[in-house]
Amino acid sequence: MHKLDKYIGRVVSLKRQVFDKLKNARPDRAYENCFVVAAVDRRLNQLVCYGAGRRINICATEVVFV
């Protein structure tokens, strides 16, 4: 089992600094800091997360379990 597999199906939030960077990139949109990990991109070693109509790929070190 890959160590990132433990994140699949879990609810996570982004660390404050990462979330602020995401918000500042598109200030015209509303954001919620709550995502569900749907898959692991093994090629990039990142988590594929969905939340509030958005899909993001993020490194596991930039999220915290809710």
Q: Per-residue pLDDT tens for 16-37?
A: 999 999 889 888 888 899 999 9
Tell me the pLDDT tens digit for each residue of 39-56. 999 899 999 999 988 899
Residue 64 CA to residue 55 CA, distance in Å, equals 17
Contact 63, 12 (CB under 8 A): yes
Contact 39, 56 (CB under 8 A): no
The residue with tokens 């709550």 is: 34
Question: What is the pTM assigned to this prediction?
Answer: 0.85
The three-state secondary structure class of 1 is: coil
